[in-house]
Each structure stands twice: as C-alpha cells, then as structure tokens.
Amino acid sequence: MAETKSEWFIIVNPHAGSGKTISEWSVAQKYLDSTGSAYRAVLTNHKSHATALAFSAAAEGYRRIMAVGGDGTFHEIYSGILRWCTESGTDPREFCAGVFPIGSGNDWIKSVGIPHDHKQVCDLMLSESFREQDVIGVSCSDGTTYMANIGGIGFDSRVCERVNRLKEAGRRSKLIYLNALLYTIRGMKSMNVQILADGEEVFTGECLSVALGNGRYSGGGMLQVPIARIDDGLLDVMIVPKQKIGSILKCLPKLFSGDLNESPQVRYLRCKHFQMLPLDSASTEIFEVDGEIEGRLPISVDVTGERINVLATPQKA
C-alpha cells in the first residue's frame, strides 16, 4: 500500500462555471502558494476524468482531495474516493473531500457552509475544518455510484437532463433550473413502480417523481427534501404520486419555503435502504445523482453506515 500523503490533491475542472474556472482557481492557487501549503493540482480533460483521478490519487496515498468546479465535479471526486475505499477495504474516515465552488449549481456546499470566497475556502483547508458525512451508495445494472447530496427519478431526473442539455448548449443562468422545471412540467409522464423502504412496500402505482436526499438543496436552492441531514444515518425520500398538473403547480412555492414534506400532494419518508422497481417496460426511467444522469431503474440506495470527512465551516462542523 502507498505511503499516506499529507498534502492536498486538487482536481480542477476547467469547463466548470462557464469556463471561468482557471481564472478563479489561479487566485486561490496564489493564496495557497503564499501560505507555503503543500498540494498537487491536476486538470480534467473529459467527463468522468475527475472520478478516475480521485481513484488514482487515493491509491497513491492522498487522503485530502479537493474539486475545483461545481456539484458535478464534486460528485465525481467523491465517487472516485469511495470506489477506491470499497475496492481496497479502506475506511472512508481516512479521507477528507471538499470543493472550491465555481460551477453553476453549488447546492451541496449549502449543507456544509462552504463559502464562495476562495480565500476562505483555503483557510478552511489549512485549519482542517472537517465534519463527517454519511456514505450513501446507489446501485443499478450499470454499477454503483455514491451520492453526496441529492438524487432523483422521473420528473426530477428529466429536469436534470434538461438542465445538462442547456449547459452543454452554453446556457448559463440562475434561472436555468426554474426554466427546466417549467419546461418539463408540460411533458410530464408518470411511472408505474414499486417502492420499498427498509424492506417494506411503501408505494405501488403511478408516480411522477421521487427525490432522494442526503443533503437538502438542489436545483439552485430548491428544497425537495427539506429536513434531510448529511450525518443522521438516514435517507430522506419524497414521492410525488400521479395527480393533476394544477395540484403540482400549487406545490411549487413549497419547493422554496422548506415545508414540502408537509404537503398532502407528496409522500415523505426516511429510511436506510431504498429500492425502486419498474412494473412495466415503459417505466424504466432514468435517474440522476448529484445532477448527473447515472442509469435507469431499477435502483437500490443504501446508507452504508460508513462516514467520510468533508470540508465545512466551523459553524456547520
């Protein structure tokens, strides 16, 4: 096994944040250099490259790994670390993962209080301001990934797919998520599924969307799972049964007010083990994890009982 390294391994996504990553990272880099900090920085050059780089860094002995980018980049490095832990049998508590937030979403950082000021992020790194976060694995026929923040199936994943297409087309705006939300409502379709929580059937029939939460925030600040906590050992689940569009529209303000879990239009529950199975071929819907499309139903989601350290402000730590 490689000797454990104390310096940070920093993975920079030059395509995040509408291409402004390099200019913003250079400011943080100069500050780190002025403090005499030891680190190694590398650039990604394709999708999923950050996952491979984080996996390799973990194998080389690095235990502090940072993403420079948005939620998608953080998801990649997070999954790379945890895949290596699973394959090697290493306790994830040996690691700390963090992010310099430069991307367009930046929802996970709201749960841990990471600021947008890169000097302050550097100070958190130098002071080793960490907290623990639950490890949640998401498995389907394509393999296993790890959820740092939020995942979703159906309406949620279709909104995510639309957002990603708009980003790839060069669209960048704080309203991009709301625009995708309204666009997707017009073509909304239901899924015929069975949902189990901790081995018990909790829903069978047609539903429009399911959100799974470790963190609370998604879509630029929406609260689909408003009472989720990253360290409570539970997965928060929000199910939207099939209903009229008018009922859905009435719920939209609750996505931002923080009380969607109390709405009669949704089913809200918490568990350690979640399964979702399609009941017909038309319901093998795509699902997203941390804003990235990762596969199709059926899926199994588990709170593993393990924890990993993440960068956080002292108030959140």
Model confidence over 115-169: pLDDT tens digits? 999 899 999 999 999 999 999 999 998 899 999 999 999 988 988 888 878 777 6
Nearest to 164 by CA among 49, 22, 19, 290: 290
Q: What is the pLDDT of residues 161-185, one digit of tens each?
A: 888 787 776 666 667 777 777 777 7
> Could you tell me if 118 and 27 are in contact, meaning their C-beta atoms sit under 8 angstroms apart?
yes
Nearest to 233 by CA among 258, 214, 210: 214
Q: How far is Cα 67 from Cα 183, in angstroms, rounded to an integer?
A: 31
Average pLDDT over residues 72-90: 97
Residue 316 three-state SS = coil
Calculate the average pLDDT of the chain.
Answer: 91
- Name 309's bridge partners: 96, 132
Q: What pLDDT, on a 0 to 100 scale, did the predictor assign at position 179?
A: 76
Residue 141 three-state SS = coil
Q: What is the pLDDT of residues 191-234, one digit of tens each?
A: 999 999 999 999 999 999 999 999 999 877 889 999 999 999 99
Burial of residue 45 (CB within 10 Å: 0-12, 13-18, 19+) is exposed
Whether residue 294 has pLDDT greater than 60 = yes
Whether residue 187 has pLDDT greater than 70 = yes
Which residue, chain included where needed, has tokens 């956080």? 312
Compute φ and ψ for 90, nearest 5 degrees. Answer: -85, 140
Q: What pLDDT, on a 0 to 100 scale, did the predictor assign at position 244?
A: 87
Compute φ and ψ for 143, nearest 5 degrees. Answer: 130, -160
Q: How far is Cα 237 from Cα 317, in angstroms, rounded to an integer?
A: 24
The confidence band for 108, taking pLDDT boundaries of 50, 70 and 90, is very high
Q: How far is Cα 287 from Cα 293, in angstroms, rounded to an integer?
A: 6
Q: What pLDDT, on a 0 to 100 scale, did the predictor assign at position 156?
A: 84
Domains parsed from the chain with CATH numbers: 5-128 (3.40.50.10330), 143-304 (2.60.200.40)
Average pLDDT over residues 300-317: 91
